[in-house]
Structures are given as structure tokens and as C-alpha cells.
């Protein structure tokens, strides 16, 4: 299994601007959608604040689409992610 820790924040684009949810709510929606694509994906919330969410993501080494699907779903919800060192 691979793991990576990310901070999810509001994107500075129209999708992010128009959202009525907090950034953390939209980030949780991103992660729930992302885990629904594969039963071998999971996440652990580390820090949850209105303006950001930090989570550790776990996925199989063979999951070649994990990153691209996460980026696409983030874009759908007006969220961006940045890598955080554990």
C-alpha cells in the first residue's frame, strides 16, 4: 500500500468561489467520492478545520488512476490539494 498526506483547500476558481460549503466539507466529499471508485482506497482525517482538511490517503501500488481521479474530483468540487510531509 502507498500512502500520502495532503492538505485540501478551496480552489481560487469559479467552482471554488461558488460553493456554499466550507472547504473541509467539500474536501470530505472529494475523499468519499474518491474512495467509492475503488475498495482498495481509504483515508484518515488528521485535521479538520473550516478552511482546510488534512488527510492521509492509502491506496494500492497498482492503482494507476488514484492520482488522476483525485485531481478530477477535486476540480469538480472546487478543491485543490497540496502534499504535506508526514
Q: Rounded to two decimals, what is the model's pTM?
A: 0.89
47 beta partners:
54
2-83: in CATH 3.30.70 = yes
* Mean pLDDT, residues 58-70 taken together: 94
Q: Which residue has the higher pLDDT, 1 or 43?
A: 43
pLDDT in tens, 10-38: 988 766 556 778 899 999 999 999 999 88
Which pLDDT does position 38 carry in this prediction? Answer: 87
Q: What are phi and psi of 51, to 5 degrees?
A: -95, -5
Q: What are phi and psi of 77, to 5 degrees?
A: -100, 5
Closest by Cα among 10, 11, 8, 13 to 28: 8
Question: Distance between CA atoms of 17 and 85, rounded to whole angstroms?
Answer: 28
Closest by Cα among 46, 52, 44, 42 to 22: 52
Q: Are 74 and 5 in contact (CB under 8 A)?
A: no
Amino acid at each position: 500500500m502507498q500512502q500520502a498526506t495532503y492538505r485540501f483547500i478551496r480552489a481560487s476558481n469559479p467552482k471554488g468561489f461558488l460553493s456554499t460549503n466550507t472547504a473541509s466539507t467539500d474536501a470530505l466529499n472529494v475523499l468519499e467520492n474518491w474512495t467509492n471508485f475503488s475498495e482498495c482506497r481509504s483515508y484518515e482525517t488528521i485535521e479538520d478545520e473550516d478552511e482546510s482538511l488534512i488527510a492521509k490517503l492509502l491506496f494500492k501500488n497498482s492503482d494507476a488512476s488514484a492520482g488522476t481521479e483525485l485531481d478530477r474530483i477535486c476540480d469538480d468540487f472546487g478543491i485543490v490539494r497540496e502534499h504535506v510531509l508526514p
